Amino acid sequence: MTSFGARLAAALAARGSLCAGVDPHPGLLEAWGLTDDADGLARFADACVEAFGPTAAVVKPQSAFFESYGSRGIAVLERTVQGLREAGALVVLDVKRGDIGTTMAAYARAYLHPSSPLASDAITASPYLGVGSLQPAFDLAAEHDAGVFVLALTSNPEAPQLQHVTGADGRTVAQVVVDDRAARNAGAEPYGPFGVVVGATIGTSVADLSGLNGPFLVPGIGAQGGGPDDVRRIFGDATAAVVPSVSREVLRAGPDVAALRGAVERQVEQFAFLRRASGS
């Protein structure tokens, strides 16, 4: 298997810059005319696999919405991850795990080891027990050509209480996260497997993002208010590695599969400038 960075670059070049979110919250199941149970979840997920698997470069299932239905929900998540990958999409499993020692190693094994039923191309992770606490995930990702997106600058209003804090060395917490990822990506081509999550609705950035040499996963597009102009403002010359993540703006087109694919195509067109910036 080629590196995650190389696979991601190829997927973005072939399918356009977009990560389609799979967020089956109860209100959306109701809007689709589905029951709020594991059966409704399965029908929702199957439609997303059919619509996004052959179309989107990246798909991001939100694990919590599946977990809320217990073991049957996890079984649906396993089938969803496998179906999306078989259809050619890269899967970033949105789990935002963050722990220490053997517990973090177990999380990493659950999502990044090829033998796991939930094996994904990449995961999201929370660094707020210290970036070094995520080392088991970084190690397993490197061993199996997977990726890890670490939270750096999120859009929620509480985020500055922690992410904007400045340490003794003058760097913000967000900058420490970015710098750690940049060091791990050094020398990788076309870019490294370790990315960061940066919301499209943040105000003025409190971190220099230019040296990451890795991908940016950018939620907050569409229903949350972010758009192409925000991406240009935040990332400047680093836009080639930006992966806009859109959930509600695409999912509201369901349950019709063709309509969901059309919604993906419209979002890809909005962010076509990202591919031009990369030369693809």
Q: What is the mean pLDDT of residues 70-81?
A: 98
| Alpha-carbon gap, residue 173 to 161, rounded angstroms | 10
Q: What is the pLDDT of residue 222?
A: 82
Is residue 7 within 8 Å of 275, Cβ to Cβ? no
Q: What is the pLDDT of residue 133?
A: 98
Q: What is the pLDDT of residue 240?
A: 78
Is residue 120 within 8 Å of 7, Cβ to Cβ? no
Q: What is the pLDDT of residue 57?
A: 98
Q: Which of 96, 109, 144, 232 is an active site residue?
A: 96
Token pair 């199996």 is at which residue?
A: 144
Active site residue 60: no
Is residue 9 within 8 Å of 190, Cβ to Cβ? yes
Planar angle of CA 229, 234, 235, nearest 5 degrees = 100
Is residue 90 within 8 Å of 57, Cβ to Cβ? yes
Question: Closest Cα to residue 221, out of 12, 47, 20, 23?
Answer: 20
Q: What is the pLDDT of residue 263?
A: 97
For the chain, what percent of residues have pLDDT higher than 90?
91
**Dihedral sign (CA 177, 183, 185, 191):** positive
* Structural domains of the chain, ranges and CATH numbers in brackets: 4-278 (3.20.20.70)
Is residue 127 within 8 Å of 151, Cβ to Cβ? yes
**H-run or E-run covering 15:** helix 4-15
Measured in whole angstroms, the distance separating CA 168 from the mean position of its chain's CA atoms is 31
Whether omega for the bond prior to residue 26 falls within 30 degrees of 0, making it cis, is no
Q: What is the pLDDT of residue 212?
A: 95
| Alpha-carbon gap, residue 85 to 183, rounded angstroms | 29
Q: Please provide the size of the chain in residues.
A: 280
- Chain segment 34-63, per-residue pLDDT in tens: 999 999 999 999 999 999 999 999 999 999
- Chain segment 113-130, per-residue pLDDT in tens: 999 999 999 999 999 999
Largest interatomic CA distance in the chain: 54
Higher pLDDT, residue 67 or 278: 67
Q: What is the pLDDT of residue 1?
A: 67
Q: What is the pLDDT of residue 13?
A: 96
Question: Which two three-digit tokens encode residue 68?
Answer: 């809320």
Confidence band (pLDDT; 50, 70, 90) for 224? Answer: confident
Question: Closest Cα to residue 216, out of 240, 248, 236?
Answer: 240
